[in-house]
Amino acid sequence: MSVDTARAAVSPPRGTAARRVSSSLSAKPRTRLGLLLAAPLAWLVLVYVVALAALLVSALWTVDSFTGEINRSLTFDNLKEITTESLYRTVTIRTIGVAALVTVVDVVIALPIAFYMAKLASRRMQRILVIAVLTPLWASYLVKAFAWRSVLSDGGIFQWAASRIGLDTPGYGLTAVVITQAYIWLPYVILPIFAGLERVPNSLLDASGDLGASTWQTMRTIVFPMLTPAIIAGSIFSFSLTLGDYITVNIVGGANQMLGNLVYTNVGAANNLPLAAAIALIPIVIMIGYLTAVRRTGALENL
């Protein structure tokens, strides 16, 4: 059989337009890549990148305090204001503090339950636990925040229970915000850590034990290093989600303000979009710094 007839036997019968497109595409990986990328990239760039860039620019605009009109000449006034005024520094530090605390609380709670789920529970128990951890995710965010408002209220169940051991409810304030946010984002932290632990082979742990390492040594030298990307992946969720939150603060935070509240009031009541945009740059800078810092750990592939 000649080479030509052999090729004719495997190449698709030519004719229909779809066939022709198909065979020319399979010969041209670059075109194929271009077609795959075109729509999603166009969407992300047109909708998101342009919007972010525009936000950056509008942070340099100002609002005429008299007429409320936006003045589109570029100045650094807003940026100067948010970097020098003590209000913004206080609120930024408070927001980072709350987000960091929420993240630490979540990781500390997630580690034992994820470890039990991944390494100790039976197959059946593991499934039940995964469902049990996932279910609260489907309850509305607002309802969960409101549930904590009810739990922590004066005369609520927390006070009722705490009074028996001589304690009191923390009431509405930053403690309540940390508790509520840690509660709401907990499943987002448990799941990546659980997935990360599942990827740590049991044989490695057995080997470590056989070679005489104590439980703590095995944890410190084997489990934690392998788990770091997963922990960071979980922390991205809890940290970022807390960083921008303003609704939980309104529901259980008392009079406290976080960065989100400042942005929200400036977009709405104060009608100062440029200043709101400038304040929004603070969490953007923090998150981009955080993401670039953790990029090399491989955490982003664990999201």
Residues 105-144 that bind other proteins (CB under 8 A): 109, 112-113, 115-117, 120, 127, 129-144
Residue 71: strand pairing partners: 62
Does 275 help bind other proteins (rule: CB under 8 A)? no
Judged by beta carbon, residue 81 or residue 109, the one nearer other proteins is 109
Largest separation between any pair of C-alpha atoms in the chain: 94
Does 167 help bind other proteins (rule: CB under 8 A)? no
Query: How crowded is residue 267: how many other Cβ atoms within 10 Å of its Cβ?
Result: 16
Rule CB under 8 A: choose which of 153, 175, 265, 297 binds other proteins. Answer: 153
Does 170 help bind other proteins (rule: CB under 8 A)? no
Rule CB under 8 A: choose which of 206, 225, 254, 293 binds other proteins. Answer: 206
Rule CB under 8 A: choose which of 6, 31, 50, 74 binds other proteins. Answer: 50
Query: How is 51-116 classified by DSSP, letter by letter?
Result: HHHHHHHHTT-EE-TTT-PEE-S--SHHHHHHHH-HHHHHHHHHHHHHHHHHHHHHHHHHHHHHHI
Rule CB under 8 A: choose which of 170, 171, 173, 244 binds other proteins. Answer: 244
Does 226 help bind other proteins (rule: CB under 8 A)? no
What's the CA gap between 212 and 46, in Å, rounded?
58
Rule CB under 8 A: choose which of 105, 176, 177, 186 binds other proteins. Answer: 186
Does 1 help bind other proteins (rule: CB under 8 A)? no
Rule CB under 8 A: choose which of 104, 162, 226, 284 binds other proteins. Answer: 284
Judged by beta carbon, residue 174 or residue 186, the one nearer other proteins is 186
Backbone angles phi, psi at 70, to 5 degrees: -85, 130
Does 6 help bind other proteins (rule: CB under 8 A)? no
Query: What token pair was written down for 254?
Result: 């008392």
- Helices first, then strands: H and E counts in the chain: 16, 2
Q: Is 258:91 a contact under the CB 8 Å cutoff?
A: yes
